[in-house]
Amino acid sequence: MASACVVSSPEDVLPRDRKIIMKKMRVAVFVSGSGSNLQAIIDARIPSIEIALVFSNNPDAYALKRAENHGIPTLVVNHRDFKSREEFEGEILKHLDPLGVELIVLAGFMRILSPVLVRAYSNRMINLHPALLPSFPGIHAARQAIEAGGKVTGGTVHFVDEGVDSGPIILQAVVPVDDDDDEDSLLQKIHAEEHRIYPEAIRLISEGKIKIEGKRVLRKT
């Protein structure tokens, strides 16, 4: 009787001196300020991505220095040089397309986006919001949580759509609202959790472990 042959892993059939090369997702990180979220992504060393570009609309953003310190290419396109958001974003796309960017990560990018960029990267652009969406969308979310008397708030990673903080939710983290919290102290707690969940969300996307069904983001089984 012939015996069965079971291959348990690629290493069983590849020469020992050959390595399996996995294609990395090419990511562009958009920044406007200090870049603490960018630093968290860099420090996470996500094996399934390559940061192909750090883009900023602000030539003085310290995040650009963080990128340069790690040998990551940077690009500045000042929105003030354009008459409209659409023209500004059209110029951005001219730079992203040749780089083969597959995912845009908004990391403290302080510009409202038009449908030009959002549609070009539909379900391929993500953002952080300092609240547990759908509660407290828009600006001053931590202040909104305190003023509403909330006992918990947190951070949300979500896909970007054409609404305001209304895209499908990928991950969330909860933080307590303590009696002595002000807006700054609450934001510090939220940012600490954001630095944890943002790299994790990027990892899930880049490894193909999630899917979007309507407004829901589900884990693939």
Segment 15-39 mean pLDDT:
82
Three-state DSSP at 176 gives: strand
Q: Does residue 129 have an active-site annotation?
A: yes
* pLDDT attached to residue 25: 98
Instruction: For residue 117, list its beta bridge partners.
Output: none
Across the chain, what does the average pLDDT equal?
A: 92
Helix 36-44 vs helix 62-69: crossing angle, to nearest 10: 20
Could you say which of 129, 158, 191, 195 is catalytic? 129
pTM of the model: 0.89
Cis peptide, bond prior to residue 73, ω within 30 of zero? no
The encoded tokens of residue 172 equal 């969330």
What is the per-residue DSSP string for 109-126? Answer: --SPPPHHHHHHTTTSEE
Summarised one tens digit per residue, pLDDT across range 115-148 is 999 999 999 999 999 999 999 999 999 999 999 9
What is the architecture, at CATH level 2, of domain 22-121?
A: 3-Layer(aba) Sandwich (3.40)
Summarised one tens digit per residue, pLDDT across range 39-97 is 999 999 999 999 999 999 999 999 999 999 999 999 999 999 999 999 999 999 999 99
Instruction: For residue 198, list its beta bridge partners.
Output: none
Domain 127-221: CATH superfamily, name plus number: Formyl transferase, N-terminal domain (3.40.50.170)
Please give the helix or strand (H or E) that residue 171 lies within, else none. strand 169-176
What is the per-residue DSSP string for 30-91? Answer: EESS--HHHHHHHHHT-TTEEEEEEEES-TT-HHHHHHHHTT--EEE--GGGSSSHHHHHHH
Segment 23-31 mean pLDDT:
97
Query: How many C-beta atoms surround the C-beta of residue 120 within 10 A?
Result: 16
Q: How confident is the model at residue 22 (pLDDT cuts 50, 70, 90)?
A: low
Segments of the chain assigned to CATH 3.40.50.170: 22-121, 127-221
